[in-house]
């Protein structure tokens, strides 16, 4: 069947990684299954040697687990979506932990926390948008009137000092996973991004995230709404001098609009 979503994504290494000739430690994937859209990002912990491996691994696992559940189930209530998220969370984390511990056994000097990563998964099946987030990913939704909401807001400073204890695979999931289910009949756009972009795309009121940057998102969503979106448009922006001057972090951005 014809795709029901237009999607653009990109991920670019932060300045420090790029200057060292290294790739970034973010990973992402998108998939559309019978009208259900999956958007997945992961941000490997900068201090960990195998964080990029962890980020790629958890994205792959999340795509498999969420894809299978979304194909099997048609939740029609908030509670049903919440249950789907709980089951998916449990499966992804269990598989990721198994893989991490297996890798640790197989590779002598690797500890499970060397794979430390965040994970943000969006499942969109209008009118429903469901999100699972571990760590500091951000999700923005746009309504028909152009109004933007932070469905998952940046976590802010307090969590940032806790290091890999708040990340997969070692996070105590009950305490550190966030779950959001929203019924949005007039949804016109979804954006998911890693924390390297939060200070560029979110307006703050002091230390508190207030709202998405309206002007920035108006132009970003326009990129994906054209008749033939340029598949490299997001990457080109993230790799531009402007973004490089404003943030030194790895950055990943996914944009999706229903057709």
Q: Which residues contact other proteins by CB under 8 A?
A: 12-13, 18-19, 21, 23, 45-49, 109, 156-158, 160-164, 195-196, 199-208, 213, 215-216, 219-220, 235-237, 239-249
Q: What's the closest the beta carbon of residue 229 comes to other proteins, in angstroms?
A: 14
For residues 215 and 228, which CB has a smaller minimum distance to other proteins in the complex? 215
Strand, helix or coil for residue 149: strand
- For residues 223 and 242, what is the distance between their CA atoms, to the nearest angstrom? 17
- DSSP helix, strand, coil percent of the chain (3-state; round to 5): 40, 30, 30
Q: What's the closest the beta carbon of residue 30 comes to other proteins, in angstroms?
A: 19
For residues 1 and 158, which CB has a smaller minimum distance to other proteins in the complex? 158
Q: What is the DSSP string of 15-63?
A: HHHHHTT---SEEEEEEEETTEEEEEEEEB-TT-TTHHHHHHHHHHHHH
DSSP letter (8 states) at residue 100: H
Q: What's the closest the beta carbon of residue 49 comes to other proteins, in angstroms?
A: 6
Q: What's the closest the beta carbon of residue 21 comes to other proteins, in angstroms?
A: 6
For residues 14 and 75, which CB has a smaller minimum distance to other proteins in the complex? 14
Q: What's the closest the beta carbon of residue 242 comes to other proteins, in angstroms?
A: 6
Q: How many CB atoms lie within 10 A of CB 126?
A: 16
For residues 172 and 242, which CB has a smaller minimum distance to other proteins in the complex? 242
Rg (CA), the chain: 17
For residues 120 and 164, which CB has a smaller minimum distance to other proteins in the complex? 164
């Amino acid at each position: 069947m014809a795709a029901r979503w237009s999607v653009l994504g990109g991920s670019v290494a932060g300045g420090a990684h790029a200057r060292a000739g290294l790739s970034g430690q973010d990973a992402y994937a998108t998939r559309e299954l019978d009208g259900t859209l999956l958007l997945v990002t992961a941000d490997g912990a900068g201090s960990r040697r195998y964080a990029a491996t962890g980020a790629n691994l958890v994205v792959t696992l999340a795509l498999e687990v969420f894809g299978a559940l979304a194909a099997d189930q048609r939740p029609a209530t908030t509670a049903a979506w919440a249950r789907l998220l709980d089951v998916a969370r449990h499966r992804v984390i269990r598989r990721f932990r198994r893989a991490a511990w297996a890798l640790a056994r197989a590779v002598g000097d690797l500890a499970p926390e060397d794979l430390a990563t965040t994970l943000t998964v969006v499942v969109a099946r209008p009118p429903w948008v469901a999100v699972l987030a571990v760590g500091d990913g951000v999700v923005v939704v746009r309504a028909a009137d152009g109004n933007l909401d932070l469905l998952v807001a940046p976590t802010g400073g307090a969590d940032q000092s806790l290091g890999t204890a708040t990340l997969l695979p070692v996070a105590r999931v009950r305490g550190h996973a966030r779950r959001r289910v929203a019924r949005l009949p007039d949804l016109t756009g979804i954006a998911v991004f890693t924390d390297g972009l939060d200070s560029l795309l979110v307006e703050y009121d002091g230390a508190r995230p207030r709202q998405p940057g309206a002007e920035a998102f108006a132009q970003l969503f326009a990129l994906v709404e054209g008749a033939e979106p340029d598949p490299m448009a997001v990457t080109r922006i993230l790799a531009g001098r402007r973004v490089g001057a404003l943030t030194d972090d790895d950055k990943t951005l996914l944009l999706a609009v229903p057709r």
